[in-house]
Amino acid sequence: MLAIRLPPEIEQRLTELATQTGRTKTYYARQAILLYLDDLEDTYLALKRLERPVKRWTLEEVEQELDLEG
């Protein structure tokens, strides 16, 4: 279960969208979270990697390791 507080103007926009389309506010909140979650995860993973770099491989190293040369 999740409860969120939204600024009144955002709540009003969400209410109007739900009313106009016949869907629930919950439906649109869920859709927004699902669409944005991948981007947030990618952003935080990238920031984490910038803070603590790990080994990086060149294409040539990967090809050699997987015996894909040629």
Residue 66 to residue 68: CA distance in whole angstroms: 5
Taking the domains of the chain in order of start, what are their residue ranges?
8-65
Residue-wise over 4-27: b if at least 16 C-beta within 10 A, else e? eeeeeeeeeebeeebeeeeeeeee
C-alpha to C-alpha distances, 22 to 11, 16, 29, 31, 37, nearest whole angstrom: 16, 10, 14, 15, 25
In the chain, the amino acid numbered 15 is T
Per the confidence metrics, is the pTM higher than 0.85?
Answer: no
* 34-47 pLDDT tens trace: 999 999 999 999 99
- What percentage of the chain carries pLDDT values higher than 90? 76
